[in-house]
Amino acid sequence: MTETPAPVAVRLRGITKTFGSNTVVRPLDLDIRDGEFFSILGPSGCGKTTLMRMITGFESPTDGSVELAGRDVSKVPTRDRDLNMLFQSYALFPHLSVYENVAFELRVRRTPKAELDTRVREALELVRLADFGDRKPNELSGGQRQRVALARAVVGRPAVVLLDEPLGALDQKLRKEMQFELKRMQREVGITFIYVTHDQEEALTMSDRIAVMSEGRVLQVASPIDIYDAPASRFVAGFIGSCNLIPARLEAGRAVTSGAGAIPADTAEAATRGLADGAEVVVAVRPERVTLHADPAAAPAGAVRGVISARVFLGDEWTVHVDAQGLTLTVQVPSGETGAALAALADGAEVAVSWTTAAGRILPAVDQTSGDAAGATATVTAGPTSEGAAA
């Protein structure tokens, strides 16, 4: 399937931000396409808000350029950039009705009355608050207030809306609902959304593409599926979802660990990415791709033997820790047949685990970084680890 890619809505070239001696965004290139739901995902303090503020013009880059729809806006003030931003902590005007809150910007721009009314009604319709125009913000629930803020952000139909952790203040259930709503809204209006979050699940659910950031760098830009299944670095593998990261070395075309010997890993794929014999690597295996064999004698050849060190029942699945020759592997077991067999076992029971070669993704042991913070994102812990999401 060949699709013509949509035109570029936002293009960043060599964008950099330094506060004093602290470089918080490192020279960074990024293309965000028209109509895309594009997420920027990364831990607290990695530079997400700073990057957003440079796109909006609230912050001027130390170096580099910002283009919107093919036009260099590096020197253009925010009000003349065709965008709107919804902040991490937004505020509605408490004394104005919902309608007037949404209409505010259009009034400032002296939009003709009839047009203003149509646009405000459309925006309220979009966020499903058509009947709430007369209410004051304090007569709304948290989720409804959030919707008003969204209506306000899109009412002027800017080309780009930037949203900085807009759901942060909401409880878990409301957050989930709003994720669907936001996605639906974005589809309906076709506006490019740039969405900042440190919640990996949120990014995976809503985005067309995700940029994973760490310490001022974009480490990978890809679709949610590729970010999850084909992480390009140890940091990305460990940050998105939970992942077993098994230290190993490439020897004679195999991945060999110090304790468990050769383990299944996709060496052919690693070779295409320049990882050759002698390289220190980690083999990244998702817990749901590991099969647990309650009877080690019946396990396939190449399975790794171990003992159960911990089990947690989660309803639809079990999370099981298996200690195997110096490795602690996390295994996700669906509560079906295997789950039932597992329930009958005790901690300390001998089991085996296996996974397919394709499930073992080989990554450099130390993330490649350039500049002065080399190695800072890859804390190589002594011994094997299972790094969960750092959210």
Ligand X SMILES: Nc1ncnc2c1ncn2[C@@H]1O[C@H](COP(=O)(O)OP(=O)(O)OP(=O)(O)O)[C@@H](O)[C@H]1O
Residue closer to ligand X, measured from CB, 198 or 209: 198
Single out the segment in contact with ligand X by CB under 6 A; choices: 45-53, 130-138, 318-326, 370-378: 45-53
Which residues are CB-contacts of 25 (< 8 A; sequence separation ≥ 6)?
15, 16, 17, 47, 50, 51, 54, 61, 216
Q: Are strands 192-197 and 261-263 parallel, antiparallel or unpaired?
A: unpaired
Burial of 384 (0-12, 13-18, 19+ CB in 10 A): buried
Taking the complex as a whole, how short is the minimal distance between the CB of residue 222 and ligand X, in angstroms? 20
Of 60 and 118, nearer to ligand X (C-beta) is: 60
Which residues are at the interface with Mg ion (CB under 5 A)?
Answer: 49
Segment holding 362, helix H or strand E: strand 361-364
Please identify, using beta-carbon distances, which residue of 196 and 327 lies nearer to ligand X: 196
* Nearer of residues 62 and 242 to ligand X, judged by Cβ: 62
By beta-carbon proximity to ligand X, the closer residue of 162 and 260 is 162
C-alpha–C-alpha distance, residues 226 and 188, integer Å: 25
Applying CB under 6 A, does 46 fall inside the site for ligand X?
A: yes
Smallest separation (angstroms) from ligand X to the CB of 57: 15
| Exposure b/e, 171-194, CB count within 10 A at least 16 = b | eeebbeebbebbbebbeeeebbbb
Distance in angstroms (rounded) separating the CA atoms of residues 82 and 268: 46
Minimum CB separation of residue 49 from Mg ion in Å reads 3
| Cα 25 to Cα 155: distance, rounded to the nearest angstrom | 31
Radius of gyration of the CA atoms of the chain, in A = 25
What kind and span of H or E run contains 337? helix 337-343
Instruction: Report in angstroms how near the CB of residue 52 gets to ligand X at its nearest.
Output: 8
* Residue closest to Mg ion (Cβ): 49
Site size for ligand X, by CB under 6 A?
A: 11
Q: Which of 4, 21, 44, 172 binds ligand X (CB under 6 A)?
A: 44
Which of 198, 234, 286, 311 binds ligand X (CB under 6 A)? It is: 198
Looking at the Cβ atoms of 73 and 162, the one nearer to Mg ion is 162
Decide whether 49 or 146 has the Cβ nearer to ligand X: 49
Which of 39, 50, 56, 186 contacts ligand X by CB under 6 A? 50
15 contacts ligand X (rule: CB under 6 A): no
Give the nearer residue to Mg ion in terms of CB position, either 99 or 239.
239
Work out how close the CB of 196 gets to Mg ion at its nearest, in angstroms, rounded to a whole number. Answer: 6
166 binds ligand X (CB under 6 A): no
Continuous segment of H or E residues that includes residue 306: strand 304-313
Q: Tokens 């998702």 — which residue? A: 286
User: Cα(35)–Cα(42) distance, rounded to whole angstroms?
Assistant: 22
Q: Which stretch binds ligand X (CB under 6 A): 38-46, 225-233, 303-311, 325-333?
A: 38-46
Q: Of Mg ion, ligand X, none, which one sits near residue 46, judging by CB under 5 to 8 A according to partner kind?
A: ligand X
Q: Which stretch binds ligand X (CB under 6 A): 46-54, 153-161, 183-191, 345-353?
A: 46-54
Q: Tokens for 372?
A: 């002065």
Smallest gap, in angstroms, from Cβ of residue 389 to ligand X?
A: 14
**β 243-251/71-72 pair status:** unpaired
Residue 19 interacting with ligand X (CB under 6 A): yes
Q: Shortest gap between Cβ of 167 and ligand X (angstroms)?
A: 13
Q: Choose among Mg ion, ligand X, none what residue 56 binds, the Cβ cut-off being 5 to 8 Å by kind.
A: none
Q: Measured from the CB of residue 316, what is the shortest distance to ligand X in angstroms?
A: 30
166 binds, among ligand X, Mg ion, none (CB under 5 to 8 A by kind): none
Q: Residue-wise over 199-218: b if at least 16 C-beta within 10 A, else e? A: bbebbbebbbbbbbbbbbbb
The rounded distance, in Å, linking the Cα atoms of 242 and 225 is: 14
Placement of tokens 């170096």 in the chain: 63
Distance between alpha carbon 362 and the CA centroid of its chain, in Å?
A: 21
| Between 49 and 179, CB nearer to Mg ion | 49
Vertex 260 angle, CA 257 and 263, to 5°: 70
Q: Which residues bind ligand X (CB under 6 A)?
A: 19, 24, 42, 44-50, 198
